[in-house]
Structures are given as C-alpha cells and as structure tokens.
Amino acid sequence: MNAQASAAPLIAMEGLGKVYEGASGDVRALAGVGLAIRAGEFVSVVGPSGCGKSTLLRLLAGLEPCEEGRLTLADRPVTGLSADVGVVFQAANLLPWMTVAENVALPLRVGTARRGGDPARIAALLQMAGLGEFAARYPYELSGGMQQRAGICRALARDPAILLMDEPFGALDALTRERMNVELQRIWQQSGKTVLLITHSIAEAIFLADRVVVMSARPGRVLADLPVAIPRPRSFDTIVSHPAYAALAREVRGLLNAEGALE
Amino acid sequence: MNAMPEISPALSAPPAPRRRKAKAVNGSLIAAIGVVVLLAAWDVSVRYLHTPSYILPSPAAVVHALASGLLVSPASPLGYYIPLWSTLRNAALGFMAGAGLGLVLGSLMAESRVVEKLVMPYAFALQSLPKVAIAPLVVIWFGFGDGSKIAIAALLAFFPVLINSFTGLRATEPERIDLMRALSASRFETYRIVKLPSAAPFIFAGLDMAVVYALLGTIVAEFLGAQQGMGVVITQAESVTDVAGVFAALIILGVVGIVLHALVRRIERRVIHWSRRKI
C-alpha cells in the first residue's frame, strides 16, 4: 500500500444508484454501490461489460448527476464538476487540431482554471511521460500508447488529487499495454494521486491496484473488494510468480465467471 | 438561362483526404482526354451535320468570341473584365453575407433546441421556394443596382452553410464534449475549442457549395436587369443571336466556378491540416 494512504476516505460512496431513462423503458445501471477510497490509494474496478463501471466513473467526475445514494469527495457531496478530479478517457480523446503540448495544456485554458497556466508544469509533465520531444507534434503523429500517455498528462495538468481512468488502455495491443501499466505505476508512485481505474483486464487490475473491486452484472453492485498484498514496485516478470497473484486472479475470475462475464 | 437549378443542397459528407500524386496526375490526364474528345465530337457534328450556327456554333467561333472578350485591355467596355469584376464582387459580398448568416444561425440552432424548432421550418420553407420566382420581388425590394444581386447571392449561399454547420456541430463526438464538461469549460469555450473545429469539414463542404451558388444567384439577378455583369453580357449576346458569344460567356463562368471551388478546397486543406491523416 502507498505510504501516503491515510485513514479517512477521500472518496466515499453509500447506496449509490443510477437509472437511465431509455426509449424502451428505464435501465438501472447501478444499485446500492458502497465503496470507500483513501487518499493515495490505487483502486481498480473490474466487472462484466455493461455493469455500470463507466457510470460509476461518470458520477464521480460529476458528468452525471448523483440522484440516488451518497457520494462525497473529501467529505463534500459531489454536486457537479470538480477541479480536483482529472479524467482519462477511453482511447486518448486528444483533439487532433492541437499539438500534444496544446492538448495537455487545455485544462489550464478553460473553465475555472483559465489563466492558471504554468507552462513549466506542462513541460515537466510531458518530460515525465517521455513525450518531451513530441510536444510540438500532432496526435496523429503519435503511436496509440504515446497518445494515451498524453491523455494522462492532460488529466494531471491541473494537479488534481484524484485521477479517474476509464479503460484507458483498452485500445492498445497487449505489449504496449503492459508497458503503459508499468509507466502508470511509476507516475502514480511519483505523484501520490488517488486513482480509480476502470478496466476489463484482470491482470492489469491486479498489477496496478492496492485493491481490486469486482462488480456484478447490471445493475452493478460491489461483489468483492480484494486487497492486493504484493509489494511494489511490481513488474510483470515477477508478479506472475507471486503466490498472491495467482490466487487473486483465480478469485476475480471465479467471481466474474459466476456473473456470466467469461462465457 | 432558364430555370435555375433548385438543387436542394443535400448534405455533403466531409471530403475524403486527398490521394497521392500519382492518382492526381492520372486524374488530370483523364480530364484532358475528356476535353479533347468532347471538342472533337463538337467540331465534327458542326462540320459534317451542317448544324446552323444559331443552334450550335463551331468551336472555332466560340474560341474567337472568347479571344475578343479576353484579349482586350482590362479597362475596355467590350471585354469580360469589367462585367466579370462586377459579378465576382457582388457574388463575394453575397457569399459572405449568406454564409456568415448561415454559420451564425446554424450555430445557434445547434446550441439551442428552441432556436432549432423556431428556425428550421422557415429555413426549409425558404429553400423550397423557387428562387427564380422570388428573384423579381428581391429586385423590387433592393432595386436594379448591386443590392439585389448581393441579396439573391446571399439567399442562395445561406442554406447549404446553415444546414452543414448545424449538422456538423451536432455531430461533434460526445467524448470530446465530455472532456470539456469534465474541465468545466463554458459553453462558448466548448463551442470555440471543440465543436467548431470538429464541424469544420462539414462547414467547408457547405462553403464549397455556397460559393458556386452565390455566383449563380448573382447571374440570375443580373438577368432580371442590371447595368453591369456577366449576366448582362449573356443577355446582350442572346438579344443579337450571338450564340458563340453566349457560349464563350458560359465557359468563362464555368471556369470561374471551378476556380472558386479550388480556392475553397485550398483554404480548407490549409485550415483542416489535421484531417490529412486519420487520427
């Protein structure tokens, strides 16, 4: 567990639910989700497709209104968008008409953070992500992995306490994905952010997280909240031979299997 | 001139990224062969079928008419330059007014359901009216001077830009809008930074149509009465059954249309530099 993790939860959810109104009736995405995340923790959320993982993240980001249950960030109810939250989207979602540096600096140009820009910080972020030489390039000149690293830099631009990641590496090939996981672990350890990662990959979830939260099929509930007792820094070479890894992977797989996710 | 084409500017999809050089060379070769074949067929049909020149003039007669309009001093009242300048100026002013209004109203419609419901029916009603029928009214309102030419050009340029900018802005990827919302960007910031560039390929497709329509609108207005312009050149040639002169003027207008289209495409490629490669 990260040294910066403290006792009081930074993110707290209680009885959190969400219903979407659809053309052919209402769809319940989440039902009674309870979860507490401490500052500095890295939590992965895995679950079957359509289990409401992304809805959970959208509620946390303030992109969807919280109408059912309680959701607090640092003891304050989430009522809307917060500058203390950075979101990393599925696929990098960079704007193709802006250079990498402009994309990463975008959060400092808009909204409440307007004119709060610190060019040195952007350069440092790009440097940290190994994109220093690509600052003036356009997104189409970058590989998928580099684009997503830029997406992470953008989410960190306002120096938020919380980083929400919605299947950020789903579009990448397996090898790039492993490299990105190692990079993300490094970035997380350097920055001390609280991270909530939504993923489909059991390996990725365990590799990165302090805790793996397994969700049920729709409507999404928390099925299990499993601590990952594997020392850091982790590497893919050593983690697979760690006895806790195999046991944990089997448990998560079993839970998902029971939900019909792995048929 | 007869009916002006009431083409409803179907929404044109954003143009695909340009192909490599080899293909372009091939394309212009095919175009050149097409022109040669067309001219040869034309010449043969006039020469051997003895078509009277008041129905179809020979290519040589048309070239002669073209030369007499082009190979003169730009200040000569007999040349094409003075009427062409007048037509182009009015078309350009009408284009700017029509396209500008189309972009502004299209944007307001895309941003607000209320404005959409309010404006959309009128926009389609206006587009359904045959412009030749309302052109005389416009002349009554704006007079025989430049005003009526600019107004009709604007009327024609308006619709494609309105519909294309509306559709393009609405088609902005929801992920990009989520990004701006997550950054608590203002509505105008989202419009300016994300929606407008996202819609640019659509807007340019509309501008591409609008620029040619503005030219068309100006000529139509000139037919109804004008002191100056290519429409006047055509009506004057028609009044003395100078069919070769009519053909020559139409060729000039065709070339101008191609040049205007190419100009828009060139600006588009400069502005939408990122779409050359798919992201």
Domain assignments of chain A as residue spans, ordered by start:
9-84+160-258, 97-158
The CATH homologous superfamily of the domain defined by A9-84+160-258: P-loop containing nucleotide triphosphate hydrolases (3.40.50.300)
pLDDT interval class at B16 (50, 70, 90): low
d(CA A30, CA A51): 8
Tell me whether A65 touches chain B (CB under 8 Å). no
Q: Which residues of chain B have a CB within 8 Å of the CB of A138? A: 274
Closest CB to A93: pick one of B175, B184, B197: B175
pLDDT for A114 equals: 65
pLDDT interval class at B191 (50, 70, 90): very high
Q: Are strands A42-46 and A211-215 parallel, antiparallel or unpaired?
A: parallel
CATH of B80-276, one of 3.30.70.3450, 1.10.3720.10, 2.70.98.10, 1.10.8.100: 1.10.3720.10
Smallest Cα distance from B49 to chain A, Å: 58
Structure tokens given for B132: 């030749």
d(CA A191, CA A12): 22
Residue B37 C-alpha from the chain's centroid: 27
How many angstroms separate the Cα of A92 from the Cα of each of A6, A24, B237? 31, 32, 62
Q: Are A59 and B182 in contact (CB under 8 A)?
A: no
* pLDDT > 70 fraction of chain B, expressed in percent and rounded: 90
User: A221 φ, ψ to 5°?
Assistant: -130, 165
d(CA A10, CA A1): 15
Structure tokens given for B48: 């051997």
C-beta neighbour count of B239 within 10 angstroms: 8
Q: Which residues of chain A have a CB within 8 Å of the CB of B182? A: 61-63, 81, 85, 87
pLDDT for A78 equals: 78
C-beta neighbour count of A257 within 10 angstroms: 12
Residues whose CB is less than 8 angstroms from the CB of residue B121 and which lie 6 or more positions away in sequence, other chains included: none
Tell me whether A93 touches chain B (CB under 8 Å). yes
Q: If you ran DSSP here, which 8-state letter would residue A1 be given?
A: -
Q: Which residues of chain A have a CB within 8 Å of the CB of B278? A: 140
User: In sequence order, what are the beta bridge partners of A72?
Assistant: A12, A77
Q: In what order do the strands lie in the sheet with A222-227?
A: A85-88, A162-166, A194-199, A42-46, A211-215, A222-227
Residues whose CB is less than 8 angstroms from the CB of residue B61 and which lie 6 or more positions away in sequence, other chains included: B53, B244
User: B169 φ, ψ to 5°?
Assistant: -65, -40
pLDDT for B194 equals: 96
Q: Are B168 and B198 in contact (CB under 8 A)?
A: yes
Chain B residues contacting A, CB < 8 Å? 175-176, 178-186, 189, 193-194, 197, 272-275, 277-279
pLDDT in tens, B39-74: 899 888 888 888 888 888 888 899 999 998 898 888
The answer to whether the Cβ–Cβ distance between A139 and B278 falls below 8 Å is no
d(CA A88, CA A153): 9
pLDDT for B2 equals: 43
d(CA B130, CA A213): 65
The answer to whether the Cβ–Cβ distance between A83 and B193 falls below 8 Å is no
Structure tokens given for B231: 């429409």
The answer to whether the Cβ–Cβ distance between B277 and A85 falls below 8 Å is no
Ramachandran bin of A173, using left for φ above 0, alpha for ψ from -120 to 50, beta for the remaining angles = beta
Closest CB to B197: pick one of A97, A139, A140: A97
The answer to whether the Cβ–Cβ distance between A111 and B183 falls below 8 Å is yes
For residue A36, count CB atoms less than 10 angstroms from its CB and return exposed for 0-12, middle for 13-18, buried for 19 or more. middle
Statement: residue B7 has pLDDT above 80: no
d(CA A252, CA A227): 11
Q: Are strands A194-199 and A222-227 parallel, antiparallel or unpaired?
A: unpaired
pLDDT in tens, B91-126: 999 999 999 999 999 999 999 999 999 999 999 998
d(CA A52, CA A55): 5
Tell me whether A115 touches chain B (CB under 8 Å). no
d(CA A58, CA A54): 6
pLDDT in tens, B198-241: 999 999 999 999 999 999 999 999 988 888 899 999 999 999 98
d(CA B229, CA B222): 7
pLDDT (mean) for B135-148: 90
The letter for the amino acid at A2 is N
Q: Which residues of chain B have a CB within 8 Å of the CB of A63? A: 178, 181-182
C-beta neighbour count of B131 within 10 angstroms: 21
Smallest Cα distance from B171 to chain A, Å: 15
Mean pLDDT, 10 residues at a time, chain A of 263 residues: 58 88 84 90 90 87 87 80 83 92 91 70 86 92 90 89 91 86 89 91 93 89 90 86 90 88 57
d(CA A60, CA A163): 10
pLDDT (mean) for B176-187: 91
d(CA B213, CA B5): 10
Q: Are A208 and A179 in contact (CB under 8 A)?
A: no
Closest CB to A63: pick one of B182, B197, B278: B182
- State the DSSP string of A81-130: --TTEEEE-SS----TTS-HHHHHHGGGTSGGGTT---HHHHHHHHHHTT
Q: Which of residues 232-251 of A touch B (CB under 8 A)?
A: none
pLDDT in tens, A133-166: 999 999 999 998 899 989 999 998 888 889 999 9
Residue indicated by tokens 């440097």? A127
User: In sequence order, what are the beta bridge partners of A38?
Assistant: A9
Looking from the CA of A79 toward its CB, the CA atoms found within 13 Å total: 3
Ramachandran bin of A239, using left for φ above 0, alpha for ψ from -120 to 50, beta for the remaining angles = alpha
d(CA B238, CA B248): 12
The answer to whether the Cβ–Cβ distance between B194 and A95 falls below 8 Å is yes
C-beta neighbour count of A128 within 10 angstroms: 18
* pLDDT > 70 fraction of chain A, expressed in percent and rounded: 94
Q: If you ran DSSP here, which 8-state letter would residue A47 be given?
A: -
Tell me whether A138 touches chain B (CB under 8 Å). yes
Closest CB to B181: pick one of A63, A97, A113: A63
Structure tokens given for A59: 């509620």
User: In sequence order, what are the beta bridge partners of A44?
Assistant: A197, A212
The letter for the amino acid at B256 is V
Smallest Cα distance from A124 to chain B, Å: 21
Structure tokens given for A129: 């992500």
Instruction: Find the angle CA(A47)-CA(A48)-CA(A53) to the nearest 5 degrees.
Output: 50
The letter for the amino acid at A48 is P
pLDDT (mean) for B138-152: 91
Residues whose CB is less than 8 angstroms from the CB of residue B65 and which lie 6 or more positions away in sequence, other chains included: B57, B242, B244, B245, B247, B248
Q: Which residues of chain A have a CB within 8 Å of the CB of B274? A: 96-97, 138-140
